[in-house]
Amino acid sequence: MNGRNGVNLKADQILLVDDLTIDYDSDPAFARNRFETELHGALQRDEFLLHYQPKASCKSGRIIGVEALIRWQHPGRGLVAPGEFIPLLEQSELIVPVGEWVLRTACKQTRAWHEAGLGQIGVAVNLSGRQLEMENLFTVVKAALDDSGLEPGYLELELTESYLVQNPEKAIATLSRLKAIGVSVSVDDFGTGYSSLAYLKRFPLDVLKVDRSFIQDIVADSNDAAITRAVIAMAHSLKLDVVAEGVETEAQLGLLIANNCDAIQGYYFSRPVGADTLAQMLREDRRLVSKLLDDGSNMRTLLLVDDEEDIIRLLELVLSGNGYRVLSATSAEQGLTLLGEYRVDVVISDQNMPGMRGVEFLRRVKEIHPDSVRMMLSGFTDLQAVTDAINEGAIYKFLSKPWKDELLCSNIEEAFRRKEMAFENRRLSEELHAANTELVRVNDELRRHLHEKSQQVMRDEAALCAAQEVLQLLPWPYVGIDSDGMVAVASADAEALFANEAPLLGTMAAECLPDELMAWIESEGADVLALEIAGSRYRVSRRAMGANSQSSGTLLTLEAEGPRA
């Protein structure tokens, strides 16, 4: 076998990097060493670049954001995928400067798309655990945003569950700071770790990215479909958006749309591409094309499955002109294909068909499209099989052949209404759940706020008591008179000096202080007064209050001149 450079290679000396065949020389350990040495200088040599994989909305089909994915443009080996070198960067701490380069480049590029008028899309950047541990992660992210001019609301940081659970308290603190400035946070590869959504609830998250390994089997494996459905519903109740990763087929897309997934990313829509190609996609307004998208038209759709073509033709004739789209299939398999391509509300199936029988077909439809209303139209009645299917909810109604046109039409009309009511009920209950979650959050916030306030009041009270005691301990008498002429503050020494029957505090100054002192207070004269009280001489000073507080009035301090009598 020949490598790109024409050297003869043995099979075990070949490393596949993307679609490139690499010569690992004759000594793989030596080659690995060289690879690592080369990686150390790659940042300086400007050999890294970013590809961008678009995410498309499951509602509008439009590109709502991109994920930045690093590649290494190796001079001899071509484009190296991140799986080959991210673990090595992580081991050597080089992930820190390289991670910062990714952040800065992704922010700058996204800002450039915005400025070019290509749409206000967001960018998601993958962070490694090492970066989350950095003391200055917040500063690094903030600098990347400030220097690029990208609004924080357009940046999303992707973290895997394993990184989050390693040091949860620190992750919560750092991510909360980032979230406070508008950056959003997503859990990447959800479903590959061991944590549950209930556990992840503690983290300040915005988006849940369901891992490709889950999505791969959702069409074939009804368990995976049920888990995906439950994950989407639970994520929504926690107010998280759900992005499905690695969507490769229309059938996967159909199932995800039918189960209210918010956005998809995967080869079905686009592989990761260079910045120029992405700009072109944005310019062309490339969209996810699917008849399953909820484009707002909400056209009612009915699927007929019957192996007898005459019956199908007859039914189509009877049901045409009723305002809904009628799709038809002559086998269960064909019916399932149509269900992957269209958003179907009501399914009517025959029972006796070659291959998959009607009961099994409708059971299968229930598993992958539980919201559809399923009915059986059959002349053949395998009573037990049909009764079982009805009892377990796979069949909503059994209609017998030959049918009465009017009765059939009214049953179909009722089935559509039932589907629409169930949809509305689910929407309302999701809204209610979200409102309740928000209420609980607000309540918690309020409780925390009240607790902080009461702690503050207690601290203030303690400080006040201490300040009062300090004032009382001052070694000279003082009296504070408020703007109405009442004594508002008086030290113990002052109380003793002006000894009256009633305490000074709360008494009008004119009633408890000597006339000479009062006359001086009311005069505009000198700020200092020499006064004799009970045989001792005092120097009285006055100060107007209110310069540094909201109080008003006058503070008098008395200084003994010579020994007290």
Residues that bind ligand C2E (CB under 6 A): 53, 69-70, 81-83, 86, 99, 102, 126-128, 158, 188-189, 212, 245-248, 265-267, 272
Residue nearest to ligand C2E (CB): 266
Q: Which is nearer to ligand C2E, 121 or 373 (CB)?
A: 121
- In this structure, which amino acid lies at residue 20? L
Q: In angstroms, rounded to a whole number, what is the distance separating the alpha carbons of residues 248 and 227?
A: 19
126 contacts Mg ion (rule: CB under 5 A): yes
189 contacts Mg ion (rule: CB under 5 A): yes
Give Cα 1 to chain centroid, integer Å: 49
Q: Which is nearer to Mg ion, 23 or 224 (CB)?
A: 224
**φ, ψ dihedrals at 179, nearest 5°:** -65, -35
Q: Which of 393, 369, 335, 359 is nearest to 222 (CA)?
A: 369
DSSP 299-342: --EEEEE-S-HHHHHHHHHHHTTSSSEEEEESSHHHHHHHHHHS
Binder of residue 248, out of Mg ion, ligand C2E, none (CB less than 5 to 8 A by kind): ligand C2E
- Over the range 299-331, which residues count as b (16 or more CB within 10 Å of their CB) and which as e? ebbbbbbbbeeebbeebeebbeeeebebbbbbb
Pairing, β 554-561 against β 536-544: antiparallel
- Report in angstroms how near the CB of residue 68 gets to Mg ion at its nearest: 9
Q: Which residues, listed in sequence order, are joined to residue 252 by a DSSP beta bridge?
A: none
- Report in angstroms how near the CB of residue 71 gets to ligand C2E at its nearest: 7
Q: In angstroms, rounded to a whole number, what is the distance separating the alpha carbons of residues 434 and 236?
A: 8
Asked whether the beta carbons of 221 and 255 are under 8 A apart, the reply is no
Q: Which of 257, 262, 259 is nearest to 241 (CA)?
A: 262
Binder of residue 557, out of ligand C2E, Mg ion, none (CB less than 5 to 8 A by kind): none
- Report in angstroms how near the CB of residue 201 gets to ligand C2E at its nearest: 22
Binder of residue 254, out of ligand C2E, Mg ion, none (CB less than 5 to 8 A by kind): none
161 contacts Mg ion (rule: CB under 5 A): no
- Report in angstroms how near the CB of residue 248 gets to ligand C2E at its nearest: 4
**Binding test (CB under 5 A) with Mg ion, winner from 188, 224, 306, 350:** 188
Binder of residue 55, out of ligand C2E, Mg ion, none (CB less than 5 to 8 A by kind): none
Using left for φ > 0, alpha for ψ between -120 and 50, and beta otherwise, residue 58 falls in alpha
156 contacts Mg ion (rule: CB under 5 A): no
- Report in angstroms how near the CB of residue 434 gets to ligand C2E at its nearest: 27
Binder of residue 349, out of ligand C2E, Mg ion, none (CB less than 5 to 8 A by kind): none
Binder of residue 380, out of ligand C2E, Mg ion, none (CB less than 5 to 8 A by kind): none
Q: Which is nearer to Mg ion, 266 or 480 (CB)?
A: 266
- Report in angstroms how near the CB of residue 105 gets to ligand C2E at its nearest: 9
Piece of the chain touching Mg ion by CB under 5 A; list 37-45, 127-135, 223-231, 240-248: 240-248
Q: Which residues contact 328 (CB under 8 A, 6 or more apart)?
A: 303, 304, 305, 306, 312, 315, 316
- Report in angstroms how near the CB of residue 70 gets to ligand C2E at its nearest: 4
- Report in angstroms how near the CB of residue 125 gets to Mg ion at its nearest: 9
Structure tokens, 464: 């006040």
